[in-house]
Structure 1
Amino acid sequence: QVARSPDPRGHDNALAAYLWVRPHAAGPHPVLGRSPRLAASRAGRLAAAVLVGGGALAVVGGVLHPHAEAPNSHAPVFAEYAQSTDWVWVHDLQLLSAAVVAAGFLVVSGVLTRAGASATVVRLGNGSAAATVSLIGVNMAVDGVALKGAVDAWAAAGGDDKAARFAAAEAIRRLEWGVNSFFTVLLGVTVLLFATALLQCPRVATVLFVVMARGLPALDRVGQALAGL
């Protein structure tokens, strides 16, 4: 009878079990057969792809948003807004694009944490990203719902009531600009915080840069082409 050689898979399984349960091991256990550098590269590409996807949705929303009139020429631009039949869902799309970008930042935060970035900076970046999306939601409510109702009421009004309706629409417009200015500042803070964390992880920064450097200029060219149609 021929003696069978030991199955090497049994030894590998026993070793994996030992590495998992041994009490003196500090920190997370590495997954056998997976390169940490490869995992970080894949996660970095995913994060960049999500950010570029959010940018793509923003380009689509910007193209579909009425923009024939100058934003600060209130009478003609309010008339343009009143004629729009897809105003609300376009602003819903813009809000979705902001949420996707925020999700991209959250994916980036996980990559940066595993790569050794400052946990404090990453947490501050996550909080700033969440606050930014919240303010964008407020801005979309003011612009996408309240302003649309005000300009519709102004367009339908007549006589002395028309001037009062126009003043109300202008007040909502100024509220929109106020919220818009604060969310723009918060977005800048978010980008700066994540940039600070990225400087601590050159390998992750390289992956994000390569993907976004290819994707974002292409999106910009597409947006300019569509806006010119």
Structure 2
Amino acid sequence: MTVSQPAWAQDSHYLVKTDPRTSGRVMEILQTRAALPPELGHGDKLGQLSAAFLGVPYQANTLIGSRDTAEMLVADFNQVDCFTFIDYVEALSRAEDAAAFLARLADVRYAGGTVDYRHRRHFFSDWAAAEPHNAADVTRELGGLYVAVDKVLNRKADGSEYVPGIGTFPRTIDYIPASAINAQVLENLQTGDYVGVYTPREGLDVTHVGIAIRRDGQVWFRNASSVAGVMKVVDAPLQAYMATKPGMVVLRAQ
């Protein structure tokens, strides 16, 4: 494993793993961000910035850290999974320059910006539950039917933990069933909304995440797909994508 500390990471108070190509892409994307109209809303900004990741290959398990391994702040734009994809996009939307990007990435990925395995936001709903919040849960506000389910996150059916060493915690998860994702719900979705695929599995909130994009008269689901034959960041029609899923959870960054 090669650990690289680019010039813009020298003042970081934690270990950083990145590479020259990622460093260059951070600066390129932030130049694009600087050129966006100042009146552009946060969601539309996320839509613009996330487009830079279309076609980036899918790769799971790129983060480094566990209860037995020191946590590192990983920035790798060469390959993403669904969670690191939204981490990078949200951090880019908050950063004014490359040095600030790492600090914003730490803020997004870790509660309190503390680069530590136990502080990592391991669950999608942590974005709205762990302070300071990355986003607000707007699932109930989209109109129509929603379901509230009380769960004990991180606890498997046999009592063991999905993520060892972080404990379990009760949380109510709101989701819109796939059959209830109608025209009203789609109309109320905004570009830049973070969308999670709800799972009924005990101890989990979602199994996949992406970003809602309004374009060409419909709503798309921009996501780092792990589907065989795709394996990259793509846009898929959101309603059709969700038709075979249990439902969706929607968070909105401000």
- TM-score category of the 2 structures, normalised to the smaller one: under 0.3
Task: Determine which structure has more spread, i.e. the larger CA radius of gyration.
Answer: 1
What is the TM-score of this pair, normalised by structure 2? 0.24
Query: Structure 1 or 2: larger helix share?
Result: 1
What is the TM-score of this pair, normalised by structure 1? 0.26
Query: Structure 1 or 2: larger strand share?
Result: 2
